[in-house]
Amino acid sequence: MKQWAQSNVPGMARLATPEEIAAFALTLASPEFPYLTGAQLVIDGGKTAHA
């Protein structure tokens, strides 16, 4: 997996930790973003980013 991530996740070169994914989910579920609705957000370390 480490080798795959280094080749396929530009900029990060690693997989996200479970804690990072949980922090992302908890942040989105918090009252800090009440106007965020129906958005599709990707947490992939930039793999799907296009210049």
Which residue ranges make up each domain of the chain?
1-30
Q: Rounded CA gap, 39 and 27, in Å?
A: 14
Q: Please write the tens of the pLDDT for every residue from 2-51.
A: 788 777 776 777 888 999 999 999 988 889 888 888 788 888 887 777 65
Q: Rounded CA gap, 24 and 28, in Å?
A: 6
Q: Rounded CA gap, 51 and 34, in Å?
A: 29
pTM across the whole model: 0.67
Per-residue tokens: 21 = 């994914």
